[in-house]
Amino acid sequence: MDYAATRSRVEGYFDGTAKTVWADLTSDAPVSRVRATVRAGRDRMRAAMLDRLPADLRGCRVLDAGCGTGAKTAALALRGADVVAVDVAPGILDVARRRLDPALADRVTFRAGDMFDASLGSFDAVVAQDSTIYYATADLAAKLDAWSARAPQVVFTAAPRTPLLMAMFLAGKAFPRADRSPAMVPQDPARLARLVRGELAVIERVVSGFYISTCLELRA
């Protein structure tokens, strides 16, 4: 699917089928063993991404692209950043608003819509955890370049091209279901690096049960 179709499917899934699941997954609520591994993996990845940014972000404007239920948004605001927290799913964004400490509210602007929207302005950094994993390589490279033109540092995640993930990706294409999650598109960092204009570096791969993701950083 092209970018617009993929974005529409992501919005429909996270604002409908997955809203309750993701609210529970990103809380302290009891979850299954499988989901517990995903929760642990996401926590480790969030920490790895935040480690790429300064501990003191006062005076910095940061885009939390695909902010989900807002854990990273809150962490960035605690460091003093002015955060623009964007998510394509309004229902998920409502959860983030409710969870945010009111003491941090003046540092956070929530926006429902396209995380790549140029009208959001320029930033000191962009962070995008597991929100860029659904897009084809050429589409992703173009969007990363657009971000890089407005921010000197972009920290994001990609699904690695492992045999297991490639098998899952191909199986998902062969047996589509309207209510299943949008398919991750495994990426080859070397190929992606050839398509973007900045310097792309692999930072860390996190593997935790069913959670497998790679942190990458693009610098203008």
Domain ranges of the chain: 3-219
Written as one letter, the residue type at 9 is R
| 71-73-180 Cα angle (round to 5) | 60
Query: What is the Cα Rg of the chain in Å?
Result: 16
Q: So what's the pLDDT on residue 173?
A: 44
| Tokens linked to 212 | 């497998």
Q: So what's the pLDDT on residue 179?
A: 43
In this predicted structure, the answer to whether residue 167 has a pLDDT above a threshold of 60 is no
> What number does CATH give the domain 3-219?
3.40.50.150
**Mean pLDDT, range 195-214, rounded to an integer:** 95
Q: Is the pTM of this model over 0.85?
A: yes
